[in-house]
Amino acid sequence: MVQTIETAMSHGLEPACPRDNHRMHFEEKGISWKATPNDRRLQTLPSYHCSFEGCSVRYDLLNGYFSVVRVPDQPYFIEEPGINVLRCPRHGTWLYRKTNRDDDAYDWRCGVEGCSYIHPRDS
């Protein structure tokens, strides 16, 4: 995956996991795999990952919230049911859930570096 400057994912996000509402953490190497068994190059997909009690949910701009299953050496992305519903109108990327610290309410936000788009939960 090649990311351009206008669609570079911010490394300072605090996406909330849609399953357990815990804060997800950025992994620069994220998911890695070889395109073919003989390929020497490793492909990587940086993403945010929920590691609470074995949770496997991830988030990135192009896939939104998803889980990964290895079949057998290639990753297979499974979209989280019913969670990827809003895209940033400026970039077309999936929004992430940002939980307010004072309560369990959340807003949907764009994860593109420098974008300040927020879609309130109740809108």
Q: What is the mean pLDDT of residues 89-97?
A: 94
Q: Is the pLDDT of residue 102 over 80?
A: no
Given a cut of 90, whether residue 44 has pLDDT beyond it is: no
- How far apart are the C-alpha atoms of 11 and 99, rounded to whole Å? 17
| Strand bridging mode 64-71 / 58-60 | antiparallel
Q: Which of 2, 1, 7 is nearest to 110 (CA)?
A: 7
If one compares 105 and 85, the residue with the highest pLDDT of the two is 85
Other CB atoms within 10 A of residue 76 CB: 10
The burial class, CB within 10 Å (0-12 / 13-18 / 19+), for 14 is: middle
**pLDDT at 65 exceeding the cut of 50:** yes
What is residue 123's predicted lDDT score, i.e. its pLDDT?
45
Q: Lowest-pLDDT range, 17-21, 74-78, 82-86, 95-99? A: 74-78
Structure tokens at 52: 């609470």
Distance separating the N- and C-terminal Cα atoms of the chain: 32
- Predicted model pTM: 0.84
User: Which of the residue ranges 20-24, 29-33, 37-41 would you say has the lowest mean pLDDT?
Assistant: 37-41
